[in-house]
Structure 1
């Protein structure tokens, strides 16, 4: 069975000759992308290559490129936040391109604050010592509009293939955690998240590696236990 250590070994192999590598992790909402990315980076930082600091690996989420609520209100899209056109896809692709070019002493990436449900600019510093960047998000393999600029910047993209029952359960729980009552959470998942998940599922065949549910569940259990 595939393990987190196996995935870490594969991720480490992407960095050859000291060049900077970018690894993408895609999948539907609630599929475990962030948990995998954080667990992978945590493990890689425990054993940096010779002469490197633990910051040789870093996590840069796509969610930092959510459009702010004020802009979603202006565009009339806030009621379907999370759809492909509620992100700055071109800005995300431009950041990945800049990271790949590896010409700056430090590059600042935005994060996404779950409590505020808003992007926060300049939150994640990427130094010259960072050789592996793990980025995760729903639409890394989407070939529509500005999203088509993303995949060429990534050395590999892995797809989190969590089953629909567990994924929906996690999404409902997440929405409840951040303030929705149960009925509102279920409504949002079925009206907004599920159509996005269906779109993302169509990109699965383009992944370099498909990570099965058993592995994602074991990583989630490991993260909880830690």
Structure 2
């Protein structure tokens, strides 16, 4: 029972963060889900929950999606999701834990530094970001940072980014689930996860009107950095 409550709390926090900032569920929650459920099942649940909360966020903002800009990212991600799923299925648990933690940590540090990479500009940059994101999403559950870096290099504002990120998050997580299947959880855990997503989405919507974009971004990145480091350390300890 205690483990289920912790699981619900992790999903609730991640859902609130994603509804608030457009991305962040996987960054904040994937490391904790991996530690709770194991690398394979934790990443799968991160895919399911992140896709669901993205769909919820799109209900009121789908008209603001920059569809033409997102299509190259979605197409590139569709090509690399199967490769990420293949890698995740074959890596031993310690290596997958360490890899997930390392990907989250490096991605967060790049976003925190506001990395400006010429390779992430234009159509080529969209394809590169989408390819990296698709692989990371299906292998480690963290596809958002590559898209965030692309948006930063393209000069998007937070208002432009959030609905487009939710559109992308819905599709790339559907791709990932299609490649790997659903996580194996008991019925009680699924009900708890569903309730946590609903409450988290409502809380994030309320907070969105009270927390500045800068502060929301800082909260997401600090939580993600801590989770990534903990997961990396555990993976290295088990090697």
Q: Same fold (TM over 0.5)?
A: no
- Higher relative CO (CA 8 A, sep ≥ 6), structure 1 or 2? 2
Q: Which has the higher strand share?
A: 1
Larger gyration radius, structure 1 or structure 2:
1
**TM-score of Structure 1 vs Structure 2, range by shorter chain:** 0.3 to 0.5
Q: Which has the higher helix share?
A: 2
TM-score (norm 1): 0.34
TM-score (norm 2): 0.32
